[in-house]
Structure 1
Amino acid sequence: MKIEELGADATEQAYDAMRQLRPHLTSAGFVRLVNEVQRPQGYRLVGSWEPTAGKVVAAAGFRVLHMLAHGRVLVVDDLSTVPASRGQGHASRLLAWLEREARSQYCAQVHLDAGTHRYDAHRLYLRHGFAIKSFRLMRLL
């Protein structure tokens, strides 16, 4: 298992993992949105490679922000693993990589959102020391 940051030329390699969370995006739409919109806003991608398959089977998208309430934080926007590779430690290794990156970027915290229906993700995050500290509310416009 190899964890590696994916540059703009490798964005498409994260698509199979990310489409589990974002099924509305096509491969080309995902690459265009990440590279043309999100990367200029500080978004970065990291992938976990399955050595036998030779491809990314889990990926995380994140950015570093400064918040009035929390200071400098690493915010995980997306974290997903292809179904066939779940339970093999890819997400855990990505979370460990993200924590190391947060520390190297002088972040005080790591933040992430998880949909209320994603019970397996909640268990994973709680096992890794995350705590539920607030609710994120939204209103569709």
Structure 2
Amino acid sequence: MKIEELEAERTWLAFDPMRQLRPHLTSTGFVKLVNEVQRPQGYRLVGSWDGETGRVVAAVGFRESSSLAYGRHLLVDDLTTMPGMRGRGHATRLLAWVEREAKRLGCAQIHLDAGTHRHEAHRLYLRNGYIIPSFHFARRL
């Protein structure tokens, strides 16, 4: 299993796992959105390769952020693994990679949101030392 950051020219490698989490995106739309909108805002993308297929089967997208409540922290926007590859440690290793990067950058915390229906993801986060410090509210406009 290899984990490494994907620069702009390799964004497309993360599309297959990301479409599991964001099915409304096309491959072209995903690459364009990440490279033209999100990367300029500080978004970074890291992939986890399967040793047998040589393909990215899990990915995490995150960015540095700062707030009055949390200080300097990393915000995980996206973390996903291909369904057939779940349970093999890809997401756990990606979370460990993000934690090392957060420490390297001097961040005090890591934050992420998970949909209320994503029970497997909740178990993963809790097993990896994450807590549920608050509710996240949203309003559609």
Q: Within 5 Å, which residues of 2 pair with 1:1-141?
A: 1-141=1-141
Instruction: Please tell me the residue identity of whatever aligns with 2:135.
Output: F
Q: Secondary structure at the match of 1:20?
A: helix
| Distance in 2, Cα, partners of 1:68 & 1:35 | 28
Deviation at 1:66, TM superposition (A): 1.1
How far 1:68 moved relative to its partner?
Answer: 1.0
Cα drift, residue 51 of structure 1: 1.3
- Mapped partners of 2:69, 2:124: distance in 1: 25
Q: What letter is aligned with 1:129?
A: G
Matched pairs, number: 141
C-alpha displacement of 1:99: 0.2
Unpaired stretches in structure 2, ≥5 consecutive residues: none
Q: Structure 2: how far apart are the matches of 1:26 and 1:50?
A: 23
| Alignment RMSD (CA, Å) | 0.4
SS at match of 1:110: strand
AA partner of residue 32 (structure 1): K
- CA displacement at 1:89 relative to structure 2: 0.3
Q: Deviations over 1:23-63 (max 9, x none)?
A: 00000000000000000000000000011101100000000
The runs of at least 4 aligned residues of structure 1 exceeding 3 Å deviation read: none
CA distance in structure 1 between the partners assigned to 2:55 and 2:72 by the alignment: 32
Letter of the 1:134 partner, please give it. Answer: S
What's the secondary structure of 1:52's corresponding residue? coil
Q: What is the aligned-residue identity percentage? A: 69
Inter-partner Cα distance in structure 2 for 1:119 and 1:55: 26
Q: Matches of 2:10 and 2:52 in 1, distance apart?
A: 19
Structure 2 SS opposite 1:19: helix
